Amino acid sequence: MGNSITLKRLSFNLINFSPELISDLTPGITNCASLQVLDFSYNSMSDFCGAQFLKVLRTQADMRDQHIWMASLRGRAKLAKEIGLREFHLKFNKLGAMTADAFSKFIDTDEYLRVIDMSNNLIKEDSIISDLIPSLRFNKSLTNFDLRENPGYTRKVRKLTALCLLRNIDLLKKAELPSYAIGKTWLNPDCLLPKSSTPGHLGTIFDLDDEEPGQENKGVNRKRPGSQARKTSAKRKPLEEKLNPPTSSILIKASNGGLPPRPSLGNKASVVIQKEPIIKRV
């Protein structure tokens, strides 16, 4: 595995992993420069595996730095940045505070990892707010940091993580990478806020203050779902009435002008028939 040049994805699912077993896999994962996706999901791993995950991430980063340095001597540093681990999936395990603390020591300085999926674990809000969020604020590469279905994934946590991810997504857009270099899982709309409540300016996206029950909408200018549709229909209605007025009003004007009533052929047909004589009379 360590000498492979074609291995892109490595998945270990439905296995009773222990920290010792992960430690045995670390040398092979470290030396595999072609590996881009590492998946340890659905293993019910305990929180004691967090330290081993930190070791895997750090050794992969050191390997990548060495490859980039060697490639820079040959003038190929730009191509060397595309190698190495990009996605780390850990969903549906039993990870908690120890794993959150371990990841916080790596996220703030990492420049390569794009996806960390820690959904459906046992991470509480205190660990996310005190460990993960401060490190995420210094990170410039993560565009998908999934913490959903954790006990600590509150509304405030979602706002804070979405703010950091949107900033990194904007940096990714400015990097102008070719489409083949961007993974499908790099962008996850479910980790962000709905479009209707996401303004365009990144600096004023979220109100991060805690809100009291029943005070969610006081003093905050939020658009309600469907308001844009109602506003559009309100503008369209006068124009439609001007072009296609009701049949009854047309018939009344026609009777006042002395014109004989004609049989109705439906709203659209009657409007077309009766409209021309009224314009001539006026």
Cβ neighbors of 64 (< 8 A, separation 6 or more) are: 33, 80, 83, 84, 85, 112
Buried b (16+ CB within 10 A) or exposed e, 35-53: bbbbbbbbbebbbebbebb
pLDDT score of 69: 80
pLDDT score of 175: 79
Q: How far apart are CA 10 and CA 277, in angstroms?
A: 78
Q: How far apart are CA 34 and CA 74, in angstroms?
A: 19
Global model pTM greater than 0.75 = no
Cβ neighbors of 48 (< 8 A, separation 6 or more) are: 19, 98
Residue 126 near residue 168, CB atoms below 8 Å: no
- One digit per residue, the tens of pLDDT, for the chain of length 282 reads 767 778 999 999 998 888 888 888 888 888 888 899 999 999 989 999 999 999 999 988 888 888 778 777 777 655 556 678 899 999 999 999 999 999 999 999 998 899 999 999 999 999 999 999 999 999 999 999 999 999 999 999 999 999 999 999 998 888 777 776 677 788 898 888 654 444 444 333 333 444 433 444 444 444 444 555 455 455 455 544 544 544 443 343 444 444 445 544 444 443 333 444 444 444
pLDDT score of 17: 85
Q: How far apart are CA 193 and CA 204, in angstroms?
A: 13
Residue 149, SS3 per DSSP: coil
CA-based nearest residue to 38, from 13, 20, 62? 13
Architecture of the domain delimited by 9-204: Alpha-Beta Horseshoe (3.80)
pLDDT score of 80: 58
CA-based nearest residue to 33, from 106, 95, 82? 82
> Hey, where are the domains in the chain?
9-204, 227-281
Q: How far apart are CA 85 and CA 31, in angstroms?
A: 11
